[in-house]
């Protein structure tokens, strides 16, 4: 069977995922220890054996699951402990070398400052990735459930959703039949008259009624500009409960714009 990717494509994805997931500073520091000491089995350093075992396990996972690591960023996570321990070991070596040169206090303060800076940087970039616009506030399954109920006022009304609908919480908080996972104008047009709704864990239930309303998280407005324009031109916007106006826009699929 023909491989779905070339070696070049796999390596490109590997570099992209690891720069995003593990960050370049961690990779550089960890690889520095691996290339300098990791392959030297006679090199004794507390924690070195643990690092080698963790790295070997992570590399084995990548080799066996090469299809998964090509598709999913989080499949690289078994490599994370080994990289983290390797990076810590080379920092430990640096501090010990500074101690021999009688720069103990300066080395410890420098190392602590670097670790603090790295932790702050990763925390900030992760937060910005999860919440691109802090002025709009975070989107949660609780307020998403409120938006779903606003889009489908009656218990048997169908709510359509621009969102990944794999979370069971959506059905708990929304408490409405759902047609989620709409990411384009074509998908919207198809699913508007679909003959089923989705249940948790990927199950389906036959349901031929058209959608009553669609929930559009504002954070996707720029990414899905074509779908946004189509909805604005063809459907009326529904007033939202207080506190949701900066997070969602709901379109009434049964009413045209005035």
Lowest mean pLDDT among 98-112, 123-137, 147-161, 189-203: 123-137
pLDDT band for 135, please (50, 70, 90 cuts).
Answer: very low
pTM of the prediction?
A: 0.56
Please enumerate in sequence order all residues whose Cβ is within 8 A of that of 107, keeping only pairs 6 or more positions apart, or say none: 94, 95, 97, 98, 99
Band (3; pLDDT cuts 50, 70, 90):
low
Average pLDDT, the chain: 87
Name the residue ranges covered by the structural domains of the chain.
7-130, 141-252
Whether residue 26 contacts residue 83, with contact meaning beta carbons closer than 8 Å, is answered with yes
pLDDT number for residue 148: 92
Q: Is the pLDDT of residue 65 over 70?
A: yes
**3-class secondary structure, 5:** coil
Residue 226: count other Cβ atoms within 10 Å of its Cβ.
11
* Arithmetic mean of pLDDT, 190-217: 89
How does pLDDT run across 228-245, given as a tens digit for each residue?
999 999 999 988 877 788
Mean pLDDT computed over 179-187: 90
Instruction: Take residue 135 and report the two structure tokens written for it.
Output: 């002025």
Average pLDDT over residues 243-254: 89
Alpha helix ranges (H) inside the chain: 7-21, 24-33, 48-64, 66-71, 80-100, 104-130, 141-151, 168-174, 185-192, 225-234
Instruction: Specify the pLDDT at position 131.
Output: 63
pLDDT at 134: 45
- Which one-letter DSSP state was computed for residue 165? T
**DSSP three-state, residue 45:** coil
pLDDT at 16 over 80: yes
């Amino acid at each position: 069977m023909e491989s779905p990717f070339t070696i070049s494509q796999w390596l490109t994805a590997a570099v992209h995922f690891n720069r995003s997931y593990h960050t370049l500073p961690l990779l550089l520091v960890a690889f520095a220890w691996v290339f300098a000491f990791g392959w030297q089995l006679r090199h004794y350093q507390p924690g070195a054996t643990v690092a080698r075992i963790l790295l070997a396990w992570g590399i084995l996972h990548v080799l066996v699951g090469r299809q998964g690591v090509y598709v999913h960023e989080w499949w690289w996570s078994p490599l994370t402990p080994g990289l983290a321990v390797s990076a810590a070991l080379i920092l430990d070596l640096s501090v010990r070398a500074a101690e021999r040169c009688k720069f103990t206090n300066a080395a410890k303060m420098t190392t602590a400052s670097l670790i603090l800076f790295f932790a702050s940087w990763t925390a900030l970039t992760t937060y910005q990735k999860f919440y691109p616009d802090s002025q709009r506030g975070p989107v949660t399954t609780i307020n998403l459930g409120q938006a779903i109920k606003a889009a489908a006022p009656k218990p048997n009304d169908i709510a359509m959703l621009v969102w990944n609908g794999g979370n069971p919480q959506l059905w708990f908080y929304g408490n409405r039949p759902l047609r989620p996972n709409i990411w384009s104008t074509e998908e919207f047009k198809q699913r508007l008259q679909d003959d089923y709704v989705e249940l948790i864990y990927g199950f389906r239930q036959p349901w031929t009624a058209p959608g009553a309303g669609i929930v559009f998280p504002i954070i996707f407005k720029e990414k899905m500009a074509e779908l946004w324009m189509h909805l604005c031109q063809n459907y009326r916007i529904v007033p939202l409960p207080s506190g949701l106006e900066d997070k969602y826009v709901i379109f009434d699929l049964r009413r045209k714009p005035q």
